[in-house]
Chain A
Amino acid sequence: MAEVVLEKVMKKFGDFVAVKGIDLKVDDGAFTVLVGPSGCGKTTTLRMIAGLEEVTSGEVKIGEKVVNRVPPKDRDIAMVFQNYALYPHMDVYNNMAFGLKLRKIPKKEIEERVHAAASLLGIEGKLKSKPRELSGGQRQRVAVGRAIVRNPKVFLFDEPLSNLDAKLRVQMRTELEQLHHKLQTTTVYVTHDQVEAMTLGSKIAVMRDGVIHQYASPQETYDHPSNQFVAGFIGSPAMNFLPARATLSNGNLILTGEGFTITLPSNGRIDTVPEQVVLGIRPEDLTGPVSEGENLLQVKVKVTEPLGNELLVYADCGGEQVVANLDPHQHVEIDSTIKLSPNLNTLHLFDKESEATLL
């Protein structure tokens, strides 16, 4: 068991800076998810922790020891790859035993550990099979099993579920969660899927362009995103963004845009505002349609998606697309103009220029 700490870690590929000096501390036993769009540097970060990529500058520490110059095999980590990386010429047993054999662990102990891991993952019946005879989910389990038997200080996962179909992905997600609960091993997990990040991580690091934009618990990143990028990336369907003009008057913040005028009591939370702002409203914070009232959004309905438990309405608000997650027990006419009421307590406000969170 160990914590993983990155200090000012930077990675350059030629002139391209893939990771721009990030700091990250993964507590002992924690499950941290690195999430972000492709090319954000999350996989590079993981590979630097594994020792598969050299760190250009900065320090990587595992269990308080700087490991920048330690080869992967001596870092006491195990990694699960996106394509599983199972040795095609070895059966499942040998795939799982390979790392232990190379470490000269007694044969008897290897057997015990492999069988224990196999039963934990429910692949005991497959120990004699070759990887090509297994289904996607089974391969995935072998890859995880190979990591478990090593009993490493740290688990590293590189998009392990992205090659599975949607249903299996949800199932494996749950299994990974239970596994972590049981083993309590420090884990760093990379994914581009924010739902996976939210459900698995005790903390998630949202990355873009080689920078960590926010590192917090899933709920925190949802409730209090540090900037417009995080706000848009976390949550599904994504947060609606509406450009607005802001003015402060008599302690009230007045936001005007095409199709809405919203007056917020600022309650001293805010002293100055830039003139150009972006209003952020999560789809689930919109209710309606309402007929009359203050602080409403006037929108034109384009598409509706009744999903049974919810009704997604895609509408146009002054040229911007707005998604609303409404009560499904009603009918919304396409091409009709309706009014929606945002929850004023959970409104988000961003500086249009810097994308920083204002409110």
Chain B
Amino acid sequence: MHLTRDRIIAFAVLLPSLILIAVFVYGFIGQTVYISFTDWGRGAALALHPQMNLIGFDNYKELFTSFLHGRFRQDLINAFFYTMSLVLGSLSLGLFLAILLDREPRGEGIFRTIFLYPMSLSFVVTGTIWRWLLAPGGGINVLPTFVGLPAGHFRWTSSRGQILTFDWQSIPEITAIVVALVLLFLTIRTWRTGKHKRAFAVAVPALILVLWALFGGRMVPQMLPIPEKHGFNLATIGVSLAAIWQFSGYTMALYLAGLRGIPVGLHEAARLDGANDIQYYMRVAFPILKPITLSAVIILAHISLKMFALIFAMAGPDNASTGHPAVLMYLTTFRGNKFALGASIAVILFLLVALFIIPYLVSSYREQRRRAS
């Protein structure tokens, strides 16, 4: 491209935005990473030029191994469960609703509005409303009495109950087993497609991981002085319910747009080929909707890692059972003034999000390139 005057103008118009994004996104991320390697937050943290010394990975080490930061580790596990329940709950419910509406019932527009309106609300509004709905002695808990059943007694957001408990020390072994299971699944799939050599190549690392988990795991130095129990906090269920209520309409809208985007002829062709409705959705519609599922998973996972406001409004920031790294980051930084430690939590949160987002962006970038050429 040669530089005509208009091209220079075009770039000049774009430039301020690019500079802003470069500074406010990339510059700030770098700055946060830098802060996470310092000890900002010792004393006089709020001074305009606070004292900062580089201390390397100490903050991270502390978060993962210090006895004092058990809440952070439980929060990470909560974040995992929040993400799983929001993604699985919203996807399945959204798809279910989309299929119902795809049958073109009368009043479709009204139903669509009803399913989608929670999405327009603020997390704070949702949190406030659901806090009332899930009040231990009322709201949802008294609903069973209307049909003659005893009232529920579940203490939604303040329950201390925990299931699926495990020792933080065994995280390496658990990870190894999970990865091995995934590899095993891949092995079976590859074997079925007839690529036996490749299946074998996948099976070997799986086997090694299992063996290591069973016999070698103990050789890893202990991270904590004493065993530390973590697990699935039952109190998170209530928050997840509210989040699913808010976002299932969103996945419904995505799926419905996808279903409507499938040419009518395809459904008719499938019918002529002898497919019933279930077969049509399973064999024709789902595969076509795969990219939608993918982007919905990305967006939902990303939302779940930003659930700060919902948890804040619904259970309060100090409630440990419903904790989330995003809330802890706020508490650490802006209540505790431990900026460096807060920055470390932010970096960990960021890395978790990046795990989802970067492959997504890379693939969409590749797709654009392909379409452009």
Contacts and interface: CB of A to CB of B under 8 A. Distances in A.
Contacts of B1: 54
A71 B373 contact: no
A54 B1 CA distance: 7
A69 B373 contact: no
A13 B372 CA distance: 11
B348 to A, nearest CB: 41
A343 B96 CA distance: 72
Interface SS of B by simple majority? loop
A72 to B, nearest CB: 10
A14 B4 contact: no
A14 B373 contact: yes
DSSP class of A's interface residues: helix, strand, loop or mixed? loop
A186 to B, nearest CB: 25
Interface in A1-46: 13-14
Interface string B1-42: 110111000000000000000000000000000000000000
B369 to A, nearest CB: 11
Interface size class of B (residues with CB under 8 A): under 10
B368 to A, nearest CB: 15
User: On chain A, which size bracket covers the interface?
Assistant: under 10
Contacts of A71: 4-6
Contacts of A13: 373
A169 to B, nearest CB: 28
Contacts of B373: 13-14
A39 B6 CA distance: 29
Nearest to A14: B373
A224 B366 CA distance: 48
Interface string B188-208: 000000000000000000000
A67 to B, nearest CB: 13
Interface string B100-135: 000000000000000000000000000000000000
A247 B1 CA distance: 55
A69 B3 CA distance: 10
Nearest to A13: B373
8 contacts: A13-B373, A14-B373, A54-B1, A54-B2, A69-B2, A71-B4, A71-B5, A71-B6
Interface of A: 13-14, 54, 69, 71
Interface of B: 1-2, 4-6, 373
Given A14-B373, A69-B2, A71-B4, 5 more contacts: A13-B373, A54-B1, A54-B2, A71-B5, A71-B6
List the 8 shortest-distance A-B pairs measured between CB atoms, nearest first: A71-B4, A54-B2, A54-B1, A69-B2, A14-B373, A71-B6, A13-B373, A71-B5
